[in-house]
Chain A
Amino acid sequence: MTAAISARQLAVTFAGRGRAAPVRALAPLDLEVTRGRIVGVLGPNGSGKTTLLRVLAGLQRPVAGSVEVLGGAATARAVQRRVGYQPEGPLPIGVLSAPEYLAYVGAELGLPDAEADARAHRLLTRLDLLGAGRRWIGTFSTGMQKRTALAAALLGDPELLLLDEPTSGLDPFGSELVMQILRERKAAGCAVLMASHHLLEVEALCDEVLVLQGGVLRARGTLDELLATGDRALVLRGLDDRALQELAAAARARGGEVVGIEAKHRHLFALFRRLAGAEAAGHRGDRDGAGA
Chain B
Amino acid sequence: MRIGGRGPFGLVLRRCLAAVWLPTLLAALAGLVLQRAAPPQLADAAAATAAVSSPWLMLPLLVAAIGAAVTAVRFWPPFAAQRPGAETLRRLQRGPLAGNGATIAGALTAQLALTSLVLGALAGSFGAPAARAHVEPRPAREGLLLPGTAPLTFTAADGPVCRTLLLRPHAGLPDGPITATRLEVRADGELLTTAPLACVEDRQLLRFDFAPRSVHELTITATAGTVPLWLPRGAVVLVGDAERPWPLNAALVALIGLVPTFAALALALLGGRVAALPTVTTVVVAILFVSIAGELGPLPAAVRALLRGQWLPASPVFPASIPSLLVGSLAMILSMSWPAGSRR
Contact = CB atoms under 8 A, between A and B. Distances in A.
Given A57-B91, A95-B75, A113-B6, A89 B344 contact: no
B87 interface: yes
Given A100-B3, A106-B6, A117-B1, A92 B93 contact: no
A201 B11 CA distance: 37
A157 to B, nearest CB: 15
Nearest to A107: B6
Nearest to A87: B88
A104 interface: yes
Given A14-B343, A77-B94, A108-B92, A89 B85 contact: yes
Interface stretch (A58-66, A180-188, A191-199): A58-66
A96 interface: yes
B47 interface: no
A106 B99 CA distance: 14
A99 B92 contact: no
Contact of B91 (A25, A51, A80, A99): A80
A220 to B, nearest CB: 24
Interface in B1-38: 1, 3, 6-8, 11, 15
A117 B343 contact: no
Contacts of A25: 344
A90 B1 contact: no
Interface string B91-113: 11110000100000000000000
Contacts of A100: 3, 11
A102 B75 CA distance: 16
A243 interface: no
A274 B77 CA distance: 42
Given A51-B344, A99-B1, A113-B6, A105 B77 contact: no
A96 B11 contact: yes
Nearest to A59: B87
A69 interface: no
B86 A92 contact: yes
A59 B89 CA distance: 11
A196 to B, nearest CB: 19
Nearest to A75: B91
A92 B88 contact: yes
B342 interface: yes
Contacts of B341: 59-60
Contacts of A77: 94
A108 B75 contact: no
B84 interface: yes
A15 interface: yes
Interface in A163-195: none
A99 B93 CA distance: 18
Nearest to A149: B88
A15 B87 CA distance: 19
A100 to B, nearest CB: 6
A49 to B, nearest CB: 13
11 contacts: A59-B87, A59-B341, A61-B342, A80-B91, A93-B76, A93-B85, A103-B6, A106-B6, A108-B92, A109-B92, A116-B6
Interface of B: 1, 3, 6-8, 11, 15, 75-77, 84-94, 99, 341-344
Given A59-B341, A93-B89, 9 more contacts: A57-B91, A77-B94, A87-B87, A89-B84, A93-B77, A96-B11, A100-B11, A104-B7, A113-B3
